[in-house]
Every structure is written in structure tokens, then in C-alpha cells.
Amino acid sequence: MPSRRQILHVGASLAALAALTPWFPSASPAPRSLLKRPIPGSGEMLPVIGLGTSRTHDVALNDAALEPLREVLRALTNGGASLLDTAPSYGRAEAVCGALAAQSGLRRKLFLASKVSSTGRAAGQRQVEASFAALKTDTIDLMQVHNLQDTSTQLGLLRDLKAQGRVRYIGVTHYLDSAHERLFDVLRQEPVDFVQLNYSIGERNAERELLPYCMDKGIAVLINRPFQRAALFDRVRGRSLPDWAAVELGVTSWAQLMLKFILANPAVTAVIPATSNPRYMADNLQAGQGNMPDAAQRQRIIELFA
């Protein structure tokens, strides 16, 4: 049996380690391993929590503006995650991601996803080349046709880039329930590795047909707008988390409960909440650990947000 002195010593060492680990508050448990799920087309394992960059990363390319985002990226990789989703249409965000990845030396730890939103092959080609330059990389892990713009032409381009080894996976995205029918049609007609779509406790349409279809056909699914751009926090403002959620699911925030609701769906490969706040990044990463809600717990979460 360890002596009381040994226990105190180990406790002090753990506290010191926690203090050194950025953005994991010492009061919370040390990060356990982040859940990973396979990309169905390849079997490559992808951590279930990633990072979106729309609006949050559209900042000036100077040190003061980049510093908090550097911390967000460190929190992402320190927490065992890798997926960074951006787009040329997010203002300076794509160039910011490229600068952060290059300056931090973290490129090889990242799974970089970007998008093409052009009409016509030549315009798509120019935009994709600009993305390689902005992201300062020779290989983009995932390139997606943004909001189904000129889908078959751009997928043709992305397929060629994949054959050349410059892009590892290809996909399509949308963010509105009203586009799910179109998304479904594309998935039925065009072979893709990934689809990115909106799904959350506030927007559950995808779980009816799209998510089961993706699961059945082996299409990886990324979830955007998990907090409906933070609007979902208004639904629970001023309310405490229920005890059962903390005890049974180990969650310590509403954000974690909302993300676990999404991850409980087995068709979901990863979810990409956006943030410019390192503490939010660490918070979100905790959702990718421990138990996911079962059917009864999902129902209770639905009732909390009804």
C-alpha cells in the first residue's frame, strides 16, 4: 500500500502537470483519450472533435489577432484532435489556418479540410490552387464542394486532384435542412468520401434519412453548426446542467452535452464546432471522451431543449 506521503507526492506531481498543460483547467480531470472513428472509405481513424473556422478565424494576419487562435490550435492538438475545417469563402480564415499551421510546426498533426465554391472547372482549379498556397501545403486532406455549387464539375476536378495525390479525400457540404434533399440526390449519384452537413439538438432532420444512408453506404460524415452558431446556448441560458448528465455522461457544460448528443449518432464521424476561445476548444474536446448518450438519454436531452 502506498504511504500517505507517497499519495500526497503523486497528487502534487499531477497538480503540477495539470498546471503545465495549457487550457485544461487543473480542476477538471486530465484529458482521457479522445474517441476516434474510422473514415469508412479507408479505415483511417479520425478524432471525433474538430474545429470549424467560419467567422472565428477571419482575423488580421498579425500577432495580436493570431495569438488566441494559436492557443486554440495548441489546445486542439494537445487534446489529441486534428481536424481543421476552413474555406476560401471565409474571408482571411484559410490564410490564417495556413499561417497558424506553418508557424506552429503542427501541419503534420492536422487533418486539413477546405472547400471549393466556384462555377466552371477553370475557376475551380484557380480557387483550389489558391487554397494550396493559402494553406501552405502540398496536400489537402479533404477538399469539399461547398454548398453544392456546380457540384458535378467541381467533383470531377477534385477526383483528378485525388488521383494525383494532392487531395486525399473528397466530399460535399451544405448547412441547411432545406438542402438535404439535394444533398441526398448528390450522394446517390456521385461517389464521395465525405459529406458535411448540419445536425444538432436544434436541427434533427438529418437523422431521419441522410445519416442512416451515409452509415449504410460507408460515407464519412462531418457535422457543421453543432451549436447553430451559438444560438442553442440561448435555449439553456441561466439553467444548470441536470445532475444525471454530469453523473451518467461525465459532462461539465451544455456545450459538451450538445456535442455528445450529435456524437451519439453512429453515422457521425466527427463534429466541427468553431471557436476563437482556447477554453471553449478544451471544453469541446471533453465531449469526445467517455460515455455517449444511449437512446433513453438522448430522449432526455431532447426534452431539455424542447
Ligand X SMILES: NC(=O)c1ccc[n+]([C@@H]2O[C@H](COP(=O)([O-])OP(=O)(O)OC[C@H]3O[C@@H](n4cnc5c(N)ncnc54)[C@H](OP(=O)(O)O)[C@@H]3O)[C@@H](O)[C@H]2O)c1
Residues near ligand X (CB under 6 A) are 52-54, 56, 85, 146-147, 173-175, 196, 224-230, 233, 255, 272-277, 280, 283-284
**Looking at beta carbons only, is 47 or 52 nearer to ligand X?**
52
Minimum distance from residue 109 beta carbon to ligand X (Å): 18
**Looking at beta carbons only, is 5 or 98 nearer to ligand X?**
98
Cross-strand pairs, 144 = 115, 171
Minimum distance from residue 194 beta carbon to ligand X (Å): 11
**Looking at beta carbons only, is 87 or 296 nearer to ligand X?**
87
Minimum distance from residue 35 beta carbon to ligand X (Å): 17
Cell triple for 301: 436531452
Type of residue numbered 10: V
**Looking at beta carbons only, is 91 or 242 nearer to ligand X?**
91
Q: What angle do CA 87, 83, 222 make, to 5 degrees?
A: 75
CB 265 within 8 A of CB 277: no
Minimum distance from residue 115 beta carbon to ligand X (Å): 6
By beta carbon distance, the residue nearest ligand X is: 52
Minimum distance from residue 255 beta carbon to ligand X (Å): 3
**Looking at beta carbons only, is 251 or 272 nearer to ligand X?**
272
